[in-house]
Amino acid sequence: MPELPEVETTVSSLKNKVLNRTFVCVWAEEKSTELEKIKGKKIRDVKRFGKGIFISLSSGDTLFVHLKMTGHLLLGNWKLVKDPLDGKKIWKAENKTMREKVNGFLRYVFFLDNGEKLALSDLRKFARVSVFSKKEAENYIKKLGPDPLLIGKKEFKKLFAKKKKEIKPLLMDQNFIAGIGNIYASEILFKTGTDPRKKASNLTDKELEKIYHATKILLKKGIRLKGDSTSDYRLLDGKKGGYQNHHLVYKRQGLSCFNCKKKIERIKVGGRGTYFCPQCQR
């Protein structure tokens, strides 16, 4: 699932490419009358909160996109052509990079006034696209925890103190702190030598401080490397991000720990696969 660095990378790219563009029309795999509201509306701003993308429109409404498990936004040009195998109409990209299989599951295509198209590719069809009023956008954000890049050290430590839940699922709880998922939670806990099964209430003030700093460092590194493309996430131009080439423990099961050379293990914590070093994270 795209996490904070992947969503932030997408938002930054959208700001550079589509600000002040106007939505001309929308194609949706499953017809949506709700999306009719964005036709003729200009893009005024693009922001991120947690894992959500908020595209502010000239009408005062917000086009909200949550990429969920396998969604990613692409900017380019496609044409509807007949599939030679079954005769059905499919979107064919003009750019070769966009023809990578992972980029080919188009569920929404937004036509812009400069001739370009903004598309959502989503293999598993879990991504959410909605039109929020100003109040609905505010209410959505209110339900989420603080953004880990904006929270201060004192507030961060206070947030986790006395919580009896295991630290790994707590880091991933969007209503508790919004933006961290399985990849970066595993990486953060390895960097701080924290057992992912340890309850937050058992962490010392110094340990929480380490987690706070590691969270900032690794999320910013993920942004600098343009996100993690281990799975389906891609940049607006269809290319891969680079964080997957710098994993500390994620997806390294059976490989040697960079610190102690013991084998990285994969266990279940809070129902999610978790990668950790049994020697360094005790």
Catalytic residues: 2-3, 51, 272
**Six token digits for residue 177:** 């702190």
Contact 188, 250 (CB under 8 A): no
3-state SS, residue 82: strand
With contact defined as beta carbons under 8 Å apart, do 171 and 200 qualify? no
Torsion angles phi and psi, residue 120, rounded to 5: -110, 115
Q: 170 exposed, middle or buried (CB, 10 Å; 0-12, 13-18, 19+)?
A: buried
Phi, psi of 108 (to 5 degrees): -140, 140
Question: What's the count of helices (H) and strands (E) in the chain, helices before strands?
Answer: 6, 12
Query: Would the CA dihedral through 173, 177, 183, 187 be positive or negative?
Result: negative
Q: How many CA atoms lie within 13 A of 195 on its CB side?
A: 10
